[in-house]
Amino acid sequence: MDNKGQVSIEAALAIGVVILVIIGLFNIWFSRLNLARDVGEAGEAKMTGILLAEGINNVYANGA
């Protein structure tokens, strides 16, 4: 039996598992980054809408 071949296969499997874990973590990180960006853009849009509504209410309240 060749022990060098067994060690080589075990090392390849260990490296493969590490690569899979890193890819999984990267995908989670990337999806969270996109979610945070989307939430930020939605917050900016909401603030713009609120400012626009306040401006319209002020014009309406002043009778113009």
pLDDT in 10s for each residue of the chain, 64 residues = 556 667 888 999 999 999 999 999 999 999 999 999 999 999 999 999 999 999 999 998 887 6
Whether pTM exceeds 0.85? no
What are the tokens at 58? 């002020």
Provide the pLDDT for residue 4.
65
Sequential DSSP letters for 30-43:
HHHHHHHHHHHHHH
